[in-house]
Every structure is written in structure tokens, then in C-alpha cells.
């Protein structure tokens, strides 16, 4: 997949090295996770330069607040991708970003995300073809909105005009499809 030599550690080794703040941990962290995190960030933030800034902020935050990660409560990637997603959403909703994007003053997040939506939904961004075929359209949309666009399930419910319970069910079904596919 990659022609360059990249450092790869097991998750346990990486977590230990990160706790000890070893240099190799920073290298491995970047090599192992930068593309997955950048995939999420660059779908929430379409401006490449800003997306790159957010990737950098994400790694800095991971590095500096690593003491707050606990392996008992979940996988490392889950913790990191939530940092990436939150920083991305903060950026998209920040005043700076709105000014940069030359958007009008927006009243609330939902309408803002509505406006964002014209850059939003591109099914071809879902990388794996047969996976796309396995997911039902409504599952794909929910995954896309929640995972790659940073919508909360409440916002998805309003966006798609479906009840909250339905959003939760569809999200669960979509993730079950992913589990079948990947496991």
C-alpha cells in the first residue's frame, strides 16, 4: 500500500511508548493512523489546508493529553478519531472558518450544516465498492453524516426528517453490516 517504510507497532506497544513519551511513539502514531484520521477530517473539512492544520492539531492534542486515554474503556483509535472529529467540527463551526468560507452569519448549527450539505454527500467517497453495495442507502447516508460529517444523531434526525429512534436503529444496522464485512 505504501512504498515508504513506516513504523508499525502493536496497539499495546504503541500505548506504552506513548505513555513514556518516546520519540518512536510519535513516529509510529503518525504512520499508523494519519491516513485514517485524515480520511475523517478531510471529509468534514473540504479545504485541504485547513484539514491539514486540524490533523496537526489532532496529533498535538493526542500527544499532550495522552494521559487521559484509558485502554480499559476502549480502543486507541476510537479515542483518537473522536478527538479528530471534535476538532474538525469545532473548526467548521468556528467564526474563523465561517469567515474563511465566506458564509453568512448562521443562526444555529443545523442550518449551517444544511448549507455545508451541498459539498456533502458523495457516495464515491466510500472507498470499498462491495461494502457500498452491501449497505442500504439510508444506512450509508447515516454513516456518512455521523462518521464523516460530524452530525450528532439529533442533527441527523432533523436533517433526514426521521425519528431519533429510527436514526439509532439505522446506525446500528449500518454498523452491523460493517462488522459483517470487516470481521
Partner 1 sequence: MEDVKAYIETGILELYVLGELSQDEKSQVEEMASKHPQIKAEIAEIERSLEAYAAANAVEPPDQLRDRVLNSLLTTFADDSKFPSKEFFENDIDDEVDEVVTPHDNVVALPAVKSGSFYKYAFAACLVALIASIAAIYSLNERLNDSYGQIASLQSRNQSFANRVNLLDNEINIFHDPAFKLIKLQGTPKTPASQLTVAWNPVKKKVMIDMQAMKLAANDEAHQYQLWAIVNGKPVDLGVFDAKPDSTGMIEMNPVANAAAFAVTLEKRGGVPSPTMSQMVVIATI
| Interface contacts to partner 1, rule CB under 8 A | 2, 19-23, 26-27, 30, 34-40, 42-43, 52, 55-56, 59-61, 63-70, 73-75, 77-79, 81-83, 85-86, 90, 125-128, 131, 143, 146-148, 152-153, 168-169, 171-172, 175, 178-179, 181-183
Contacts of residue 71, Cβ cutoff 8 Å, sequence gap at least 6: 12, 15
Nearest-angstrom CA–CA distance, 9 and 28: 7
Residue placing its CB nearer to partner 1 in the complex, 63 or 104 = 63
Cα 83 to its chain centre, rounded Å, is 8
- Return the number of the residue (127 or 137) whose C-beta is nearest partner 1: 127
| Cβ neighbours of residue 20 closer than 8 Å, sequence gap 6 or more | none
CB of 77 to partner 1, least distance (A): 4
Q: How many residues does the chain have?
A: 183
Q: How far is the CB of 4 from partner 1 (least distance, A)?
A: 8
State the first-to-last Cα distance of the chain, in angstroms, to the nearest integer. Answer: 20
Residue 129 to residue 153: CA distance in whole angstroms: 25
Note every long-range contact of 129-132, with CB atoms under 8 Å and residues 24 or more positions apart, other chains counting: 130/181, 131/177, 131/178, 131/181
Q: Which residue lies nearer to partner 1 by CB, 74 or 117?
A: 74
What does the block give as the cell for 175?
454498523
Minimum CB–partner distance for residue 31 and partner 1 (Å) = 8
Q: What minimum distance in Å lies between the beta carbon of 117 and partner 1?
A: 19
Q: How far is the CB of 132 from partner 1 (least distance, A)?
A: 10
Whichever of 104 and 181 has its CB closer to partner 1, that residue is: 181
41 vs 102, beta carbon nearer partner 1:
41
Amino acid at each position: 500500500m505504501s512504498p515508504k517504510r513506516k513504523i508499525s507497532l502493536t496497539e499495546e506497544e504503541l500505548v506504552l511508548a506513548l505513555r513514556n513519551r518516546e520519540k518512536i511513539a510519535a513516529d509510529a502514531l503518525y504512520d499508523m493512523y494519519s491516513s485514517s484520521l485524515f480520511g475523517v477530517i478531510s471529509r468534514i473539512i473540504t479545504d485541504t489546508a485547513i484539514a491539514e492544520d486540524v490533523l496537526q492539531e489532532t496529533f498535538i492534542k493526542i500527544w499532550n493529553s495522552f494521559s487521559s486515554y484509558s485502554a480499559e474503556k476502549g480502543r486507541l483509535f476510537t479515542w483518537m478519531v473522536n478527538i479528530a472529529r471534535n476538532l474538525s467540527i469545532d473548526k467548521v463551526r468556528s467564526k474563523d472558518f465561517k469567515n474563511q468560507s465566506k458564509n453568512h452569519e448562521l443562526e444555529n448549527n443545523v442550518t449551517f450544516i444544511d448549507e455545508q450539505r451541498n459539498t456533502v454527500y458523495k457516495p464515491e467517497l466510500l472507498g470499498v465498492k462491495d461494502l457500498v453495495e452491501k449497505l442500504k442507502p439510508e444506512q450509508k447516508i447515516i454513516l456518512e453524516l455521523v462518521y464523516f460529517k460530524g452530525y450528532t444523531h439529533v442533527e441527523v434526525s432533523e436533517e433526514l426528517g426521521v425519528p431519533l429512534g429510527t436514526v439509532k436503529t439505522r446506525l446500528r444496522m449500518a454498523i452491523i453490516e460493517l462488522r459483517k464485512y470487516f470481521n
